[in-house]
Amino acid sequence: MTKPENSEQDHVLIFDTTLRDGEQSPGATMSHNEKLEIAELLDDMGVDIIEAGFPIASEGDFEAVSEIARRSTNSVICGLARAKDGDIDRAWEAVKHAPQPRIHTFIGTSPLHRDIPNLTKDEMAEVIHTSVSRARNLCDNVQWSPMDATRTEHDYLCRVVEIAIKAGATTINIPDTVGYTAPRESADLIRMLIETVPGADEIIFATHCHNDLGMATANALAAVEAGARQIECTINGLGERAGNTALEEVVMALKVRNDIMPYQTRIDTTKIIQASRMVATVSGFPVQFNKAIVGKNAFAHESGIHQDGMLKNSENFEIMRPEDIGLSETNLVMGKHSGRAALRAKLSDLGFELGDNQLRDVFVRFKELADRKKEVFDDDLVALMTDSNTNAANDRMQVKFLRVICGTQSPQSAELTLTIDGEDHAVKATGDGPVDATFNAVKALFEHKASLQLYQVNAVTEGTDAQATVSVRMEEDGKIVTGQSSDTDTVVASAKAYVNALNKLLVRREKSAPQ
């Protein structure tokens, strides 16, 4: 067996698992169409391998992986499978439609993980041989992962990696499942495997890091320096707990510091901001302002910091240019006199390509916003595009009317009309503050037992007429959903974000209801 063509010594494959490990993050559930849209963009931006889902997990996962496989052009499409016949066969059934399919099978190899299925080391070695062989009989491209590799005894890790290679694995992924390792250890582990395991030079080693100690990017890059040639990552670092290695961070680090890390990726970095915004919207996980590369404040000119030095020479402050990740250089202000063509051009600059029908709807919302707000900035348009209301066509519940009475005297009150399944329902409720009153009104109209876990407000731009983006996270029977909305009125944004989360809860209830 020879190494895949694009594994030359200086080339690092980018394996994106936003749709699998990212989606596993509680509350980040994505719909079928949202997954297709993200996969299309990942394929287009040069991601080498897309881990599209875990086909055995649900019918929805299976359908999404199959459809992504059918539509893929350049990327390898990968499906995850435990070391079980049913999982492996199901993963193959889904990915086989891709021009370049891959099965990724895994088992936990650390002492803690071996205890769960209660297998001895020898019994587990046998399971690994059988599962990888089964996958390899179905598909030429097989990835195997010893889950919790960084806490697995080194001698046992070498033994099972050798077994997987002999059984036909073409990529061996070394996961730091709990985000425990540190850069030097991450490098030493990869180096040790490459130097010790027979057949290691025939396959690709991958690094898969979690960010629990904030070292996922550093650990992945250290692994590359030691010989790993595939980085597993997600857009915005989305993922369980503190998330995974962020795609934008490793890709830009390799680009900007190519002088000391002379490795290439195939990623078109100008698509990074579009991918970041799309994943933030779809997952309901907003990007923190000071997040490396894609945060609102990551570029001085974007955050409105116009210091003297910056104005004289942007290189004084910036190690990369905003255009490198697809941010337009200017923050041209739009207003109520701006026309449809200008809006389309501006949105395209911001990474949103709209069809005629979508543009017509967005234009109406833009005009409403411009009527209320003299100047509409780039960030306002991004908030508009990512607002749940812009994407609410299929929602069962919508906010139709809201009026709150608030002031120094308690309680505050809210009059609310919700359209639920096409019918209007109105109520008046009180509460401790206007948001509490509004949420009580929503609860009165739509009874539910979901509890509010997070309520967060961010101003989109400066000024007292700025829009507010409100994010909420809710939990019902262990299921977590998030909602988001933006409006110049914070209470309206709050009501819409709450209703957005409830709509997602309804979808989840429908999915889990017995057929």
Closer residue to Zn ion, CB minimum distance, 21 or 378: 21
DSSP label at residue 427: E
Q: Which of 62, 92, 106, 498 binds ligand KIV (CB under 6 A)?
A: 106
Is 208 a residue that touches ligand KIV (CB under 6 A)?
Answer: yes
Taking CB under 6 A as the criterion, which residues in 369-428 touch ligand KIV?
none
Is 145 a residue that touches ligand KIV (CB under 6 A)?
Answer: yes
Binding pattern for the stretch 9-48 against ligand KIV, x by CB under 6 A and - elsewhere: ------------x---------------------------
Q: Closest residue (Cβ) to Zn ion?
A: 21
Closer residue to Zn ion, CB minimum distance, 20 or 373: 20
3-state secondary structure 99-119: CCEEEEEEEECCHHHHHCCCC
The residue among 460, 459, 440, 457 whose CA lies nearest residue 448 is: 440
Classify the C-alpha dihedral 283-284-287-288 as positive or negative.
negative
Is 82 a residue that touches ligand KIV (CB under 6 A)?
Answer: no
Is 87 a residue that touches Zn ion (CB under 5 A)?
Answer: no
Q: DSSP letters of 129-166?
A: HHHHHHHHHH-S-EEEEEETGGGS-HHHHHHHHHHHHH
C-alpha dist (Å) from residue 425 to 260, 398, 417, 420, 428: 63, 11, 5, 7, 11
The region of 28-36, 171-179, 361-369, 483-491 touching ligand KIV under the rule CB under 6 A is 171-179
Is 92 a residue that touches ligand KIV (CB under 6 A)?
Answer: no
Q: How many CB atoms lie within 10 A of CB 12?
A: 27
Is 87 a residue that touches ligand KIV (CB under 6 A)?
Answer: no
The region of 131-139, 172-180, 344-352, 437-445 touching ligand KIV under the rule CB under 6 A is 172-180
Is 189 a residue that touches ligand KIV (CB under 6 A)?
Answer: no
In the complex, the smallest distance separating the C-beta of residue 15 from ligand KIV, rounded to whole angstroms, is 10
Nearest-10 crossing angle of helices 32-44, 59-71: 30
In the complex, the smallest distance separating the C-beta of residue 38 from ligand KIV, rounded to whole angstroms, is 18
- Distance from C-alpha of 308 to C-alpha of 461, rounded to nearest angstrom: 22
Strands 204-209 and 171-176, by their bridges, are: parallel
Q: Which of 4, 15, 20, 21 binds Zn ion (CB under 5 A)?
A: 21
Closer residue to ligand KIV, CB minimum distance, 83 or 474: 83
Q: Under 8 Å CB-to-CB from 207, ≥6 apart: which residues?
A: 173, 174, 176, 186, 190, 219, 220, 223, 224, 228, 230, 231, 232, 245
Is 34 a residue that touches Zn ion (CB under 5 A)?
Answer: no
From the number of C-beta atoms within 10 Å of its C-beta (0-12, 13-18, 19+), residue 96 rates as middle
Partner from ligand KIV, Zn ion, none binding residue 106, C-beta < 5-8 Å depending on class: ligand KIV
Is 473 a residue that touches ligand KIV (CB under 6 A)?
Answer: no
For residue 207 the two structure tokens come to 């690094």
Report the interface residues with Zn ion, using CB under 5 A.
21
Report the interface residues with ligand KIV, using CB under 6 A.
21, 106, 145, 147, 173, 175, 177, 208, 210
